[in-house]
């Protein structure tokens, strides 16, 4: 899995500033939030845990929309993120 490689493979030691975008639903709205890979604390079989300003948050993999390199290149992306609102920078 790409997240495991970016986090743990020494070849990708510079990837800690890469960004994970994921879908967060609030009522009927779909918001795409961003977290830095350096904030990922655990990876499970169907989720990852990230440290946010409001505490630890479990995020299922199916909610991930994109993984973006620190230079802006999209390393991986889901095809349908239509009708999403994007929430500010990391």
- What is the per-residue pLDDT across 63-72, written as a single tens digit (0 to 9) for each? 999 999 989 9
pTM of the model: 0.79
Report whether CATH 2.30.30 matches the domain 2-86.
Answer: yes
- Model confidence over 5-45: pLDDT tens digits? 888 888 877 778 899 999 998 899 999 999 999 999 999 99
Q: What is the reported pLDDT for 23?
A: 94
CA atoms within 13 A on the CB side of 39: 18
Q: What is the reported pLDDT for 35?
A: 94
Look at residues 49, 52, 62 and name the one whose alpha carbon lies nearest to residue 90: 52
User: CB neighbours (10 Å) of residue 6?
Assistant: 22
- Which of the two residues, 85 and 4, has the higher pLDDT score? 4
- Which of the two residues, 79 and 90, has the higher pLDDT score? 79
Helix, coil or strand: residue 10: helix
User: CB neighbours (10 Å) of residue 70?
Assistant: 13
The domain locations on the chain are 2-86
Residue with tokens 């993999």: 61
């Amino acid at each position: 899995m790409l997240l495991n490689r970016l986090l743990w493979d020494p070849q990708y030691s510079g990837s800690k500033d890469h960004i994970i975008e994921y879908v967060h639903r609030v009522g009927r709205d779909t918001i795409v939030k961003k977290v830095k890979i350096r904030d990922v604390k655990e990876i499970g079989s169907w989720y990852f845990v990230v440290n946010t300003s409001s505490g630890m948050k479990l995020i299922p993999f199916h909610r991930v929309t994109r993984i973006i390199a620190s230079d802006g290149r999209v390393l991986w992306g889901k095809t349908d993120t239509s009708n999403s609102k994007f929430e500010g920078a990391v």
